[in-house]
């Protein structure tokens, strides 16, 4: 009985705090993405032709943990299979945040573009039971700054 009460409290705490934090994070992400739009990040490996650039490796890294509510919901999902929608926002936020941090670094270098952008996603809590899932997303690319002759 005690265990059920503890679980219920953890789930509701996870729901309210997790949802609040997520909404806040999304607002923050959308705001910064609009500002950073002036600095395009491209997946292409080939820099624009006919121009010379100063090239610097830039990266952005973020670690996000899941809340108890979402982990519980995903655990229930395990029984039936299907789309694990409770993890979608976690990964979405992590990827976007990592790119934003990378772009911020590029901006500080006064770069014009970031090329060859790639992601690495790692599960930090991988294989450990009784631990909330935690993911790390690492975004990196080559910042290009035009060399004016």
Task: Please give the DSSP secondary-structure letter assigned to residue 130.
Answer: T
CA distance 116 to 113: 10
Q: Among 25, 56, 61, 77, which residue interacts with other proteins (rule: CB under 8 A)?
A: 77
Least Å distance, CB 8 to other proteins, is 11
Q: Could you tell me where the DSSP H helices lie in 47-116?
A: 68-80, 85-108
Least Å distance, CB 37 to other proteins, is 6
Give me the half-sphere count of Cα atoms (radius 13 Å) on the Cβ side of residue 108: 10
**Residue 144: what are its φ and ψ, rounded to 5°?**
-115, 130
| Stretch in the footprint of other proteins (CB under 8 A) among 58-66, 68-76, 119-127, 133-141 | 68-76
Residue 104, classed as helix, strand or coil, is: helix
The packing angle between helices 85-108 and 68-80, to 10°, is 130
Between 30 and 57, name the residue whose CB sits nearer to other proteins.
30
Q: Among 49, 80, 148, 149, which residue interacts with other proteins (rule: CB under 8 A)?
A: 80
Q: Among 76, 108, 124, 132, which residue interacts with other proteins (rule: CB under 8 A)?
A: 76
Q: Which residues bind other proteins (CB under 8 A)?
A: 3, 15, 19, 26, 30, 33-34, 37, 40-42, 48, 69-70, 72-73, 76-77, 79-80, 83, 85-86, 88-89, 91-92, 113
């Amino acid at each position: 009985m005690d265990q059920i009460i503890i679980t219920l409290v953890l789930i509701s705490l996870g729901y309210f705090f997790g949802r609040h934090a997520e909404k806040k994070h999304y607002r923050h992400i959308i705001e910064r993405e609009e500002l950073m739009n002036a600095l395009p990040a491209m997946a292409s490996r080939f820099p624009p032709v006919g121009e010379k650039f100063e090239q610097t490796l830039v990266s952005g890294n973020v670690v996000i943990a899941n809340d108890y509510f979402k982990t519980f919901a995903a655990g229930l999902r395990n029984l039936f299979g299907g789309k694990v929608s409770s993890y979608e926002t976690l990964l979405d936020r992590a990827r976007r945040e990592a790119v934003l941090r990378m772009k911020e670094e590029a901006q500080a270098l006064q770069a014009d573009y970031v090329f060859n952008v790639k992601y690495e996603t790692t599960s930090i809590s991988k294989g450990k039971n009784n631990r909330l899932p935690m993911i790390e997303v690492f975004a990196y690319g080559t910042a290009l700054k035009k060399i004016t002759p």
